[in-house]
Amino acid sequence: MISLLRQILKYVWVSKKIWMIPIILLLLTLGGILILAEGTAFAPFIYAIFLAAAQEERFSRNKGDSNFPSKAIAFCLDKTGLSVDELDFVAFYDKPLLTFDRLLETYLAFAPRGLPSFRKSIPIWVKEKLLLQTLIRKQIENLGRGTLPEKKLLFGFHHHSHAAAAFYPSPFESAAILVMDGVGEWATASLGRGAGTEVTLLSEIRFPHSLGMLYSAFTYYLGFKVNEGEYKMMGLAPYGEPKYLQKIRDNLIDIKEDGSFRLNMKYFNYCTGLTMTNQYFDELFDGIPPRKSSARLSQRDMNIACSVQAVTEDIVLRLVRTLKKETNERNLCMAGGVALNCVANGRVLREGPFANLWIQPAAGDSGSALGVALAVTHLKGQPRIKLNGLRDGMKGTYLGPDFAVNDIEATLSRHGAVYHEFSDDELFDRVAQALASENVVGWFQGRMEFGPRALGNRSILGDARSSRMQSMLNMKIKYRESFRPFAPAVLDERMADYFGLESASPYMLLVDFVRPDRRLELTAEDSGLEGIDRLQINRSDIPSVTHVDYSARIQTVHKDTNPRFYRLLKSFYEQTGYGLLVNTSFNIRDEPIVCTPEDAYRCFMGTEMDLLVLGNTVLVKEEQA
């Protein structure tokens, strides 16, 4: 705060803008009050994680919902049978004052260029962020479930929360930890170590130098939505060549041997503006402005995506090698938004120096809520979670709502749906047979997944052997870009039949390659195709999950974590000899994954899915009104 005050006074003195002094004093006064209220000791805290966890968007049906998570909190309380009075603590995974400190310092460093953005954002920050402690207590008490004393509300550091989410649920007694995202309070990448019940952050890279922001800047430039379209750019990259790699390294980023880096902020606008890039960025890339989201993707766009993906992988690999030297650990844990880059993760596993890798499945900020809860649990002296034979502490991420038979039947009766009920012995064989006949199946079972991936409880399934399944799912079911690949869900014991991956991948966070003996030889004509034209080529005997570079984002399915999904795959294997299916999230473009039977029914009726399976209840599309 002292350094911040020094910069403010220097700016006011040089700029002669004396009129700013009362505003700045008011903001600093508010900040001082919050420092006293929050306290200086690190204090995240315990919540009902591992008993229940969910994101607000699944209940509100507003994708990426940033409103106060009242419905998600109510679900957690209902699922655990607790009132607010019975909670030991409520925790938030960020230090709002430190984030505000970064905001002010950044605007002052770039003043007066960011004044319009500053005027727009500061009132929101003062109202919703600086007063966050009051807002949280008020909103939780408005649920009518009890009161929340001030002493029970605690705040953790953003990257420590990520690190805790990465290490504590992992199967390791000790491990190196790598956290990478857009930005926390100040940190954009943190290197650390976990041992027993302690998580220690050793070093960090600070804002505005951010690998997450670099990736998001290119996401914006290629016409995709920031904080959502990064998946699309990763999927687009294999269609291109890294022709812009050297231009990026020469102009945008200075990468050191240890993986640390600095961005050239001349080309970026995210510190002070309302866009990610600026006119200098456009000039660097052939003088072409950002692509309109509705415009056709060009080979140039694909080459840019490929180039920034290559830079990302290079930095991540350098950082993990540095971590190995600093910690000498055998195991690595990862979290933060960049840890969702499953292509980079696959390279870390194959080429990195660590023997074992575990990635928090809810690697983004939703997982930070889990992390801050775990961190305070151990801060208060509780031991690590005992796995008792489980592969990790996440319970397969199946931590959301589930619905009884009567809930399902009430929904279907309300809509006048025609449905059939089967025993387990009948159900799995019938659904496997439908899948083998190229039917698309909405699969709704048990508890909803926590995190961004559908892992077999809120999934849309198809036959990976089908040459038309990828385009059919993209165009008729998901209503999304045709180039986007689909993931295989494969029986764990059959994974080696199809892929080179030598490690379990239960959370769909690792990319590896289809075995050479399953690949098909390309014709001379096919080999000469470029860009999206390459999409139509069958590259293996499992074409719907084989990307253009022969890669696949793999989910291994295990009997102990999801016995029903495992049994379906087993039935499909017994009928076809193939122990894998296409698995994509049960939703359409720009909507969250379905949560309730009502959500599932509406999505089923609004798309060209053939079957909907809700528990043991089956709906056939052609029988519906």
pLDDT of the residue at 522: 86
Distances (CA, A) of 399 to 49, 448, 561: 8, 6, 12
pLDDT of the residue at 19: 47
pLDDT of the residue at 38: 30
pLDDT of the residue at 101: 74
pLDDT of the residue at 14: 46
pLDDT of the residue at 202: 97
Residues 333 and 202 in one domain: yes
pLDDT of the residue at 122: 66
Task: Calculate what percentage of the chain has a pLDDT beyond 90.
Answer: 74
CATH classification at residue 286: 3.30.420.40
Residue 12 in any domain: the answer is: no
Is 80 exceeded by the pLDDT of residue 239? yes
pLDDT of the residue at 531: 75
Mean predicted confidence (pLDDT) in 310-324: 98
Mean predicted confidence (pLDDT) in 196-213: 96
Write the CB contacts of 144 (distance below 8 Å, at least 6 apart in sequence): none
Residues 119 and 198 in one domain: no
pLDDT grade for 97, boundaries at 50, 70 and 90 = confident
- Predicted TM-score (pTM) of the model is 0.89
Average pLDDT, the chain: 88
Cα 568–chain centre separation: 27
Residue 399 in any domain: the answer is: no
Dist. CA 573–CA 388, nearest whole Å? 30
Query: In whole angstroms, how large is the CA radius of gyration of the chain?
Result: 25
Residues 189 and 337 in one domain: yes
pLDDT grade for 116, boundaries at 50, 70 and 90 = low
Is 60 exceeded by the pLDDT of residue 165? yes
Is 90 exceeded by the pLDDT of residue 323? yes
Residue 17 in any domain: the answer is: no
How does pLDDT run across 259-314, given as a tens digit for each residue? 999 999 999 999 877 899 999 999 999 999 999 999 999 999 999 999 999 999 99
Dist. CA 561–CA 397, nearest whole Å? 9
Mean predicted confidence (pLDDT) in 490-510: 97
Write the CB contacts of 142 (distance below 8 Å, at least 6 apart in sequence): 70
DSSP H or E segment with residue 462: strand 458-462
| Nearest of 366, 365, 373 to residue 47 by alpha carbon | 373
Is 60 exceeded by the pLDDT of residue 512? yes
CATH classification at residue 460: 3.90.870.20
Assess contact for 361 and 394: CB atoms under 8 A.
Answer: yes
pLDDT of the residue at 49: 47
pLDDT of the residue at 1: 42
Domain residues for the domain of 437 are 405-623
Is 90 exceeded by the pLDDT of residue 547? yes
Structure-block tokens of residue 588: 């359409």
pLDDT of the residue at 179: 98
Cβ of 183: how many Cβ atoms within 10 Å?
A: 20
Residue-wise DSSP of 205-227? EETT--HHHHHHHHHHHTTPPTT
Question: Which region among 87-91, 480-484, 542-546 has the lowest average model confidence (pLDDT)?
Answer: 480-484
Residues 305 and 353 in one domain: yes
Residue 377 in any domain: the answer is: yes
Residues 286 and 252 in one domain: yes
Is 90 exceeded by the pLDDT of residue 225? yes
pLDDT of the residue at 30: 39
DSSP H or E segment with residue 175: strand 174-180
How does pLDDT run across 21-30, given as a tens digit for each residue? 454 444 444 3
Residues 271 and 122 in one domain: no
Question: Which region among 119-128, 237-246, 274-283, 374-383 has the lowest average model confidence (pLDDT)?
Answer: 119-128
User: Final residue of a domain: which of 370, 393, 416?
Assistant: 393
Is 50 exceeded by the pLDDT of residue 224? yes
Residues 551 and 462 in one domain: yes
Residues 139 and 232 in one domain: no
Residues 147 and 168 in one domain: no
Residues 279 and 227 in one domain: yes
Mean predicted confidence (pLDDT) in 80-85: 94
How does pLDDT run across 406-464, given as a tens digit for each residue? 999 999 999 999 999 999 999 999 999 999 999 999 999 999 999 999 999 999 999 99
pLDDT of the residue at 113: 65
pLDDT of the residue at 105: 74
Is 90 exceeded by the pLDDT of residue 48? no
User: Final residue of a domain: which of 367, 393, 419?
Assistant: 393
pLDDT grade for 121, boundaries at 50, 70 and 90 = low
User: Final residue of a domain: which of 393, 425, 446?
Assistant: 393
Dist. CA 45–CA 165, nearest whole Å? 12
Residue 379 in any domain: the answer is: yes
Residues 176 and 138 in one domain: no
Total tally of structural domains belonging to the chain: 3
Mean predicted confidence (pLDDT) in 460-469: 95
Question: Between 483 and 71, where is the model more confident?
Answer: 71
pLDDT grade for 34, boundaries at 50, 70 and 90 = very low
Residue 4 in any domain: the answer is: no
Task: Calculate what percentage of the chain has a pLDDT beyond 70.
Answer: 88
Cβ of 436: how many Cβ atoms within 10 Å?
A: 17
| Nearest of 315, 280, 285, 300 to residue 188 by alpha carbon | 315
Residues 478 and 592 in one domain: yes
Residue 11 in any domain: the answer is: no
Mean predicted confidence (pLDDT) in 247-257: 98
Phi, psi of 49 (to 5 degrees): -65, 150
pLDDT of the residue at 114: 61
Mean predicted confidence (pLDDT) in 241-257: 98
Instruction: Tell me the one-letter amino acid at 568.
Output: L
Residue 587 in any domain: the answer is: yes
Write the CB contacts of 36 (distance below 8 Å, at least 6 apart in sequence): none
